[in-house]
Structure 1
Amino acid sequence: MSDTYQTINLQDSWQKNLAVLIDHIRLRSFPRVLVEVLASYCHFDTSLIVTYKKSFKPIVIHPIDPSEQSSTLRSFLNNGYYLLDPLFDAIQNETVSGVTRLAEYAPDSFEETDFYQECYQYFGIVDEIVMIIKLDSEVTCAISLGRCKGLGTITRSELRALQEIYPVISALFRQFWLAQAGEYVQYEESDDSVKQALKSFGSGVLTQREREITHLILKGNSSKAIADKLNISVGTVKVHRKNIHAKLDTSTQSEIFTLFLGHLKALSVEPHLT
């Protein structure tokens, strides 16, 4: 088969896929159809489309059928694990965009974190490709395509294919969001508890610097990574870590993580003053 024929064939396939997406652009079925189209450019085992708004609880756009949502996904959302997700952190800090991989923004000790041990590893993913789409000034969409052990890591040709269609996919998704946002934001939960948990964990016990380091520890940063981020020495970080454990009466990262989740849950059930 000649290169010219392959090029024409790929263009014809893209035109047909684009037509299908345009047909569904104002319908709730658009995310599902989009995933089906993406499958023709990149192999993946799992797919998830989520919108993020500041520190609000993420909203799942696909799959919306509860029967298609794994217990791990429900735990990720309902137990507050998303707060320690590297992607959530990267979006909050606006340090990720376009087509990327988890390996590009995950902290250096990611697999040692409680988020990984207690939640992420149960997704069974060995490589995660994410398309980041800015929907408006406050909302960001993440289309996550997960590959399990059988598929291995994404190939260069697949990544390049996603990068090539990304501008069009982004434009189409923004149009879908303009038409359908109201159908999803009605399920939006207040981010008061989340904001309060992040700000108040360790308050009155830890210093501001110790609280800052505690958040970085929970997100999977090693002492060296924390030192680099805060422009301090590794030795200073180790002293802070020792003081944090002493003040919280903990000895491991897991114990700190358990305290944090308990703090979040406690705030979630407390009545809020209006």
Structure 2
Amino acid sequence: MVNLQAFTRWNSDLAKTVAAIGGDAFFNQLFSALADQVAHIYPQIWLYHRDLPPRILYHEIPADAVELQIDRYLEGPYREDPFYQISMNSPRSSIYKLGRLTGNTFEDSGYFRNYYGGTGTCDEITFLTRLDDGSVVNFCIMRKACDTPFSDEDYDLLYSVSEIVASLIQSHCHRDDFASTNLLQPGLDAQIDIAFKSFGSDFVSPREREVLELMLRGYGADTSAERLSISLETVRRHRKALYKKLDVSCQADLFALFINTMPYIASAQGGDPLSVYMQ
């Protein structure tokens, strides 16, 4: 039987969300609308590009959890994230629950042991919305480890509104200001590998540039040390120097800076697109 009070609240929240499309309050309003239906924590909006590092567009994560939830995730674990993997491989928009996606083997995975098990969360539901340039918006909500996971009723309720959520996100992301800032432009994908190799080369040493490229490609510090045949401590020292030289404070800022230079790859003519961007 339909809960008339909940239905009325959803319609009211939906109207406010539609009105917020294209504005800075859009994602906050969309999360608020869903929170009135299903309790959750750590709401996040990620943009997964086909060949670029993920970009955090919006989050409501407490300051003391940002380092783990965002910075640590971007250091390499995102590549093993089941939601990231299905975003890159699934051709359609949909909604997924962590337990249903991973089955009973999740706690045995390297992703759980090396990252997820330390996040303080026990469950996750994600709306995946595919955009015209092949990128995917990951609209994510979680439950604390001390709480109960999302129930089948929670999932069924969110599934029932998943097409509406996808349509709202697509409408918001089709706005010119969002598209020009965050999405891949036509013909740019062929030049991305050049950007990986050249980004920051005018500002850092040759060895730091090698470390930087591996960071941008999503490799963790331990893997970078192995690939470059240097110590883990040396990699960490290079990373610290890179942050200082490029005037960023974390990996999320570094990835955002890298993506912001994408429109300048052609004008850089094989050189450092960051130099052109800075001008």
Asked if structure 2 preserves the Cα contact closer than 8 Å seen for 1:90 and 1:105, the reply is no
Q: Does residue 138 of structure 2 align to residue 138 of structure 1?
A: no
Unpaired runs of at least 5, structure 1: 197-255
SS in 2 for 1:150: coil
Asked if structure 2 preserves the Cα contact closer than 8 Å seen for 1:43 and 1:151, the reply is no
Asked if structure 2 preserves the Cα contact closer than 8 Å seen for 1:63 and 1:69, the reply is no
Q: Distance in 1 between matches of 2:171 and 2:56?
A: 18
1:75 aligned to which of 58, 72, 90: 72
Q: Distance in 2 between matches of 1:21 and 1:146?
A: 21
User: How far is the alpha carbon of 1:149 from its aligned partner?
Assistant: 2.4
User: How far is the alpha carbon of 1:104 from its aligned partner?
Assistant: 2.7
Q: What residue number does 2:58 align with?
A: 62
User: How far is the alpha carbon of 1:258 from its aligned partner?
Assistant: 3.5
SS in 2 for 1:57: coil
Unpaired runs of at least 5, structure 2: 198-219, 229-234, 243-264, 271-279
Paired amino acid for 1:91:
S
Q: What TM-score do the two structures reach when normalised by structure 1?
A: 0.63
The answer to which structure, 1 or 2, has the higher relative contact order (CA under 8 A, 6+ apart) is: 1
SS in 2 for 1:143: strand
Asked if structure 2 preserves the Cα contact closer than 8 Å seen for 1:57 and 1:191, the reply is no
Q: What residue number does 2:180 align with?
A: 182
Q: Distance in 2 between matches of 1:261 and 1:42?
A: 43
User: How far is the alpha carbon of 1:18 from its aligned partner?
Assistant: 1.1
Query: Which whole-Å deviations, capped at 9, do the CAs of 1:173-203 have from their partners, x for residues lacking one?
Result: 11110112334359x998639999xxxxxxx
Q: What residue number does 2:193 align with?
A: 192
How many residues were matched structurally? 206
Q: What residue number does 1:15 align with?
A: 11
Q: What residue number does 2:29 align with?
A: 33
Paired amino acid for 1:155:
S
Paired amino acid for 2:222:
T
Paired amino acid for 1:175:
S
When the two chains are superposed, the root-mean-square deviation of aligned CA atoms in Å is: 3.8
Q: Distance in 2 between matches of 1:19 and 1:121?
A: 38
Q: What TM-score do the two structures reach when normalised by structure 2?
A: 0.62
SS in 1 for 2:90: coil
Matching of residues 235-254 of structure 1 within 5 Å: none
The 1:68–1:163 alpha-carbon spacing in structure 2 relative to 1, beyond 3 Å, is farther
SS in 2 for 1:20: helix
The 1:10–1:53 alpha-carbon spacing in structure 2 relative to 1, beyond 3 Å, is same
Q: Distance in 2 between matches of 1:257 and 1:103?
A: 29
Paired amino acid for 2:146:
G
Q: What residue number does 1:124 align with?
A: 120
SS in 1 for 2:38: coil
Asked if structure 2 preserves the Cα contact closer than 8 Å seen for 1:129 and 1:146, the reply is yes
Q: Distance in 2 between matches of 1:62 and 1:84?
A: 21
SS in 2 for 1:82: helix
Q: Does residue 227 of structure 2 align to residue 263 of structure 1?
A: yes
Q: What residue number does 2:158 align with?
A: 162
